[in-house]
Amino acid sequence: MTHKLLTDNPGKSELMLGNEAIARGAIEAGLRVGATYPGTPSSEISLNLFQISQETDLYFEYSSNEKVAMEVAAAAAASGLRSMCIMKHVGLNVAADPLMTLAYIGVKGGMVIISADDPLMFSSQNEQDNRYYALLSGLPMLEPSSIDEARAMTKYAFELSEQLNEPVILRTTTRINHSTGKVVLDSILQSQKKGDFTKDPFKKVAIPAVSRNLHIQLLENIEKAASLSESSQWNITTGDGKWGIICNGVSYNYISDAITELNIADQIRVLRIGFSHPLPSKQIQAFLKACERVLVVEEGEPWMETQVKALAQEIECTIPIAGKSLEFFSRLYEYTPSKVRSVMASFFNVSDTKQDPLSLNDLPEIPGRPPNLCAGCSHRAAFYAVKQAAKSLDVEVIYPTDIGCYTLGVLPPLNMADYLICMGSSVGTGCGFSKALDKKVVAFIGDSTFFHSGIPGLVNAVFNQHQFTLVILDNGTTAMTGHQPHPGVDMSQWNLDNFTQVSIEKIVRAIGVPHVEVVRPYQVNKTIDAIKAAFNADGVSVVIAQEACTLVNKKRKKRAFRVTDKCQNHRVCINEFACPAFYLENNRLQINPSQCVGCAVCAQVCPENAIVPVKESS
């Protein structure tokens, strides 16, 4: 069956998720090579492109990290093919090294870099504003405000990239990626089949003598981009009032709705910036001259505001320009329609149309509903085993952790997370803690994260003879972001050829880790013993805990467990293991058979052996 994003029916309207619209835009542009490392809120772009690559000429790969993904796309673009790399905002930190010099080298085929930012941090460790990467690198940047624009802008980004011979950053926020709206399909361009690379080392090999010239070329390209931005269809002025608003991205939607609700359309003039780097300086200066006061509405940092004020200074414009600086808006979190409307009402001195909040003081307290490791999750079993093994030590244990489902181990009763910065940081910080403290250090990292950026840290640990234990929680998938593949995955289980599975154990042994244990965390006592042995080893030790993610493991026969009368209500199971399939009925433990996957770990945890499989016949 043809993938739904391949419908070749220009003019047809469809309901699409923002990420589907971006994937569609890339397909319409004739995307030939795509690469990614998964990360919310960008993941569905890659999911769709990977599916499409199974039935078209598109080559799409899950790379081992964002840096590699960008390099794969860069080489394709250097060969004249249209390419794209897709990542979340913090992924661009990983790819920042190629980004900065790729801007010098430039591209031949159109190349688009998707940076999916996450204001308010729905699923991220920070809310950095990646628009600064455009300023830092000098690369052109586009920012859509709607779902259909996400599609159209993605398609345009490839043309722009080829016009300037530079990669283009398409920067979104969660509310574009994970919003759904109407998209009008455009025609699909045929992708170029084969790449063509012209050798020209004195323009493509970034040695100092070459780069000195390439920097000149980059500055010229920024000038060219600036003139395109001045006349860009994506930088739109509407209205002819004296109250100015300069905005970008989803903020444009909020100010548009607020103008209607506040009934101030006659007074307002709006400049919506979609081609945001370089900013259209002359357009902004003309806009400032036409206004009595200007409000800059942008989530994140005062990125436009600072530049707009500098542009005002150039033309000696002294009208009030506000945004974050006069504390109208915050640099924190995402905006909401009512927040934007109330700031507009205050800045333009009109009355707000706010609905009164309901009085909710009399509501009963509502228990929280935090996400939890799944019933049967092997991470919970591994955490339990580490905790039991740690009881044999006479020092406190520090647990650096990493990014994945297992970060949820931070929650009680597991409490198995003490320090986390970024992807791969468990290993490097494990090295540091082991030198800084007289304590046992046990670091956790997932399989995909190990491939992403855990390996260099482990090489460091061996070379510098650090003393800690690394537990690699290998569930055979990139579970957190939606079960994407990674180099350790056996792709033949999905009937996909042309992949070679990379063994974590062989890597760990090849690095020269002096003590390596491979365990099945569902086997509780064996796992505890192996972890104890790893704790006692000299130098860095590694425990690889292998058990398939319970959400994708189709092989295991599900056989629920139940609690017998032997239960003495010790509640070791609840207090130390805490599987979400447990519940209390008449103050006795029960196991929900529809949630239980039959991992049998609780049966091994119970001191009375009171938990047994439900009989097949019953």
Partner 1 sequence: MKPIRLIIVAVGGQGNLLAARVLGEAAMAANIPVGMSEIHGMAQRGGVVESALVLGDAKSTIISDNAADILLGFEPSETLRALNKCHANSWVITNTKPLPPFTVNIGKGTYPDLTLMPQLIQQKVARLFTLNATELATQAGNILSVNIVLLGALTATKALPLSSQQMQDAIKKTVKKAFIDINLKAFALGEKAIKL
CA distance 106 to 124: 30
Applying CB under 8 A, does 578 fall inside the site for partner 1?
Answer: yes
- Residue from the set 512, 584, 609, 613 that interacts with partner 1 by CB under 8 A: 584
- Residue from the set 180, 198, 227, 238 that interacts with partner 1 by CB under 8 A: 180
- Residue from the set 368, 555, 586, 607 that interacts with partner 1 by CB under 8 A: 368
- 6 CB-contact burial (10 Å; exposed 0-12 / middle 13-18 / buried 19+): middle
Applying CB under 8 A, does 1 fall inside the site for partner 1?
Answer: no
Q: What is the CA radius of gyration of the chain?
A: 27
Give whole-number Cα distances, 612 to 494, 560, 587, in Å: 33, 9, 19
Q: State CA 321 to chain mean position distance.
A: 33
In the numeric block, the tokens 């992924």 are attached to 91
- Residue from the set 339, 520, 526, 562 that interacts with partner 1 by CB under 8 A: 339
Q: Which is nearer to partner 1, 145 or 484 (CB)?
A: 145
Supply angle C-alpha 516, 523, 573, rounded to 5.
125
Give whole-number Cα distances, 394 to 278, 364, 391, 609, in Å: 59, 45, 8, 29
Applying CB under 8 A, does 313 fall inside the site for partner 1?
Answer: no
- Partnered with residue 590 across adjacent β-strands are 583
- Residue from the set 405, 431, 507, 545 that interacts with partner 1 by CB under 8 A: 405
Q: Which is nearer to partner 1, 182 or 391 (CB)?
A: 182
Applying CB under 8 A, does 582 fall inside the site for partner 1?
Answer: yes
Tokens of 560: 């629920």
**Least distance to partner 1 from the beta carbon of 606, Å?**
15
Applying CB under 8 A, does 178 fall inside the site for partner 1?
Answer: yes
Applying CB under 8 A, does 186 fall inside the site for partner 1?
Answer: no
Scan residues 431-470 and list those touching partner 1 (CB under 8 A).
none
**Least distance to partner 1 from the beta carbon of 190, Å?**
29
- Residue from the set 200, 362, 438, 565 that interacts with partner 1 by CB under 8 A: 362
In the numeric block, the tokens 């009368």 are attached to 565
Q: Which is nearer to partner 1, 212 or 588 (CB)?
A: 588
Cβ-Cβ contacts under 8 Å for 423 (sequence gap 6 or more): 65, 90, 94, 402, 403, 449, 452, 453
**Least distance to partner 1 from the beta carbon of 376, Å?**
12
293 touches 347 (CB < 8 A): yes
Scan residues 470-499 and list those touching partner 1 (CB under 8 A).
480
Applying CB under 8 A, does 361 fall inside the site for partner 1?
Answer: no
CA distance 235 to 554: 50
**Least distance to partner 1 from the beta carbon of 386, Å?**
21
Tokens of 565: 């009368």
Cβ-Cβ contacts under 8 Å for 333 (sequence gap 6 or more): 119, 120, 127
Applying CB under 8 A, does 357 fall inside the site for partner 1?
Answer: yes
Listed residue (135, 149, 62, 64) closest to 103, CA to CA: 135
Q: Which is nearer to partner 1, 217 or 338 (CB)?
A: 338
CA distance 336 to 264: 19
**Least distance to partner 1 from the beta carbon of 548, Å?**
15
Backbone angles phi, psi at 318, to 5 degrees: -120, 20
Tokens of 481: 């972001």
Applying CB under 8 A, does 364 fall inside the site for partner 1?
Answer: yes
Tokens of 585: 């009925």
- Residue from the set 130, 161, 232, 253 that interacts with partner 1 by CB under 8 A: 253
Scan residues 20-49 and list those touching partner 1 (CB under 8 A).
40
- Residue from the set 254, 287, 383, 535 that interacts with partner 1 by CB under 8 A: 254
**Least distance to partner 1 from the beta carbon of 543, Å?**
24
Q: Which is nearer to partner 1, 366 or 510 (CB)?
A: 366
What end-to-end distance do the CA atoms of the chain give, in Å? 41
Amino acid symbol at 562: R
Task: Note the residues at the interface with partner 1 (CB under 8 A).
Answer: 13-15, 40, 122-123, 145-147, 175, 178-182, 250, 252-254, 256-257, 260, 336-339, 354-360, 362-374, 405, 408, 480, 551, 574, 578, 580, 582-584, 587
